[in-house]
Structure 1
Amino acid sequence: MSRLGFGLVLVFCLTPWASPPVALALGLGLAQTLGNPFPAFTKKYTAKLLQYSVIGLGFGMNAHSAVQAGRQGILFTICSIVGTLVLGYAAGRWLKLGRHVTHLISCGTAICGGSAIAAVGPVLRAKDEEMSVALATVFVLNAIALFAFPAIGHSLNLSQQQFGLWCAIAIHDTSSVVGAAAAYGKEALEVATTIKLARALWIIPVALGTAMVFKQQGVKVKLPWFILGFVGAMLLNTYVPATHAVGPWLVQAARMGLTVTLFFIGAGLSLQAIRSVGPKPFALGVLLWVVISSASLYVILHT
């Protein structure tokens, strides 16, 4: 029965009636009722599908607009990353959490959710349970953000530019950023994706800094190659007119891929995974998220 349910939802996610928030909700519903019959499969392909989907979205974006959006968000990005890491360190000590869990959740909140945790974890030589707790914390908050942010944006009458910037700063994972921004509008999606991917490049200096602070030697830092693919696709769409014929098809395929990605993420959030977070790590995640969301929204509304 669980395999049939999984297959039916997966097929639905490939139709025009599905959307990232709906796909996430269906995945969560499946995980809490019938269960995920293919946990190894969804875990293996979630990151890859997200990366290829992000590259595909690049074929619907203009490099000139992206540079302008990135230029506006760079100072905001630097301040929010540094501020989140410092606050995370202080709050983790106050909650008496382990240094590894504190740093993983802080990096996930500051940069790009699961991708940052996956990159920093090996540098820390973090244990599997520490990685699981940090990932579960971030994914639960991502699920909330995907539904809450568009509603808040509309209630505050945020512009497309404002909402895209807020998403990129305040939502952890790239998948949820793109999903929330796509639900808000095309311009919001362009702004959010560009700033979020520029933000994701901070994985490299933060991972290197982690190796120095935690005195880890002989570790390798992985380059987030899919960001380069996104930039390449955007440049092709801007400067090579021949790509315009296939660009809309690739963007449509990317959006379908993103919808399936959110379904996979939801299906992976079992009740056991949610319970494994525990009160203290979740409290740290919520504290950081509320502070960065509120502070960034205040700045956006008053500048």
Structure 2
Amino acid sequence: MKNITDYIAGIILTILLALSAKAVSTYIPMHLISGSVFALILGMLLNPIIKEIPIFNSGIKFVSKKILKTAIVLMGLTLSFSQVLSVGGYSLIVMTFTLLTAFGGGYVFGRLFNMNWKLSSLISAGTGVCGGSAIAAVAPTIEADNSDIAYAISATFIFDIMMVILFPIAGKYFGMSDLGFGLWAGTAVNDTSSVVAAAYTFSDAAGAFAVIVKLTRTLSIVPIVMIFSIINARKNKKLGIKSDYQDENVSVKNIFPYFILLFLLMVGIKSTGFISAELSSNIASISKFMMVMALGAIGLTTNFREVSASGVKPLFHGFIVSSLVVVVSFTVQLFIGQL
């Protein structure tokens, strides 16, 4: 049992890293690169030095695991179940197809490229749901390596950069409505900051609609994490490996991650209306900062050599799956008449 003092140095380091990353991100036009990405990159750059200083180890590990899960739980207080209904059936139809495309395509191309299934799944989660947040939520349930988390975030981030620039241009070219473009950006662009940047570049109305769609899309984290918990437990049982979410008998009761239960509880609380908009906004800011801290901690335990060992296949994997999602989202809207 470690004393609290054993964690202080590492926690302070991740706080400073998060503050630095957020400060750097403010100089990027349209907040194109979020603080989370900078924290991850800065952490990886510092890894060769920090890994040689034992005093930081316990705190960094605590932040990358415990603070990460706490941030995910707090995200629940920024969402309500009524938001799903407010968007309407059209967005749910489009999201169904994009999620199937992300995970179906991810599985197929992951097998074709002979990739680690955990890395392939993280890229699919980031592409299908909400970028780094989904990757962070799925990672602990499948016990993914930090190098896989870093690579998955990098793969989805590179595509997002392109989409922020190309989406508004394409939307104008196709003569899309504000509603259609908001639905397209909200279901096909990965990270929330990138969705906002792309949609508000098109129009304020498209931006407002895209945000609602994106928040609704985020709720799919819950069933997706549940499914991956079952997959990981079954794989571990087959290999004779005891995991954090596994018992002798693989069942929903035994493997459901506790932090997702708490996440659902927070969403329920937000849905009651007891949480004011101001408080929800403040909680969202705290949650996002904790996420930046956690991703910085992950970066501090990962070096570029580990990430580069995965090769270029994961990048191609992410690009192909993301492209498929963009095309499918557009095509489905074309058929249901929402462009």
TM-score of the superposed pair, with normalisation by structure 1: 0.68
Does the residue aligned with 1:278 lie in a helix, a strand or coil? coil
Does the residue aligned with 1:80 lie in a helix, a strand or coil? helix
2:307 to 269, 274, 278: 274
Distance 2:20 2:64 in 1: 19
> Which 5+ residue runs of structure 1 have no aligned equivalent?
123-127
* Percent of pairs with identical residues: 16
Deviations 1:88-133 (A, max 9, x none): 34323332345565556545644543423432x26xxxxx6xx445
Aligned residues: 280
Distance 2:265 2:32 in 1: 22
How far the C-alpha of 1:228 sits from its partner, in A, is 1.5
Residue 26 of structure 1 corresponds to 38
Distance 2:64 2:235 in 1: 30
Distance 1:199 1:73 in 2: 16
What CA RMSD, in Å, does the superposition of the two structures yield over aligned residues? Answer: 4.2
Does the residue aligned with 2:33 lie in a helix, a strand or coil? helix
Deviations 1:196-243 (A, max 9, x none): 213542332455467679984733432522542343243222xx5xx4
Residue 279 of structure 2 corresponds to 249
Deviations 1:161-188 (A, max 9, x none): 74455444552xxxx3x33345544443
Q: Does 1:7 align with 2:16?
A: yes
Residue 94 of structure 2 corresponds to 76
TM-score of the superposed pair, with normalisation by structure 2: 0.63
Deviations 1:238-261 (A, max 9, x none): xx5xx43xx313313313431452
Task: Determine if contact 2:182/2:210 at 8 Å carries over to the other structure.
Answer: yes
**Change in CA separation of 1:283 and 1:53 when aligned onto 2, cut-off 3 Å:** same
**Change in CA separation of 1:290 and 1:193 when aligned onto 2, cut-off 3 Å:** same
Residue 125 of structure 1 corresponds to none
Q: Does 1:261 align with 2:252?
A: no
Taking the TM superposition and a 5 Å limit, the aligned residue runs for 1:220-239 are 220-223=254-257, 224-237=260-273
Q: Does 1:116 align with 2:138?
A: yes
Distance 2:159 2:285 in 1: 19
How far the C-alpha of 1:67 sits from its partner, in A, is 1.0
Distance 2:179 2:187 in 1: 12
Task: Determine if contact 1:20/1:179 at 8 Å carries over to the other structure.
Answer: yes
Aligned partner letter, 1:288? V
Task: Determine if contact 1:161/1:191 at 8 Å carries over to the other structure.
Answer: no
Distance 2:235 2:94 in 1: 24
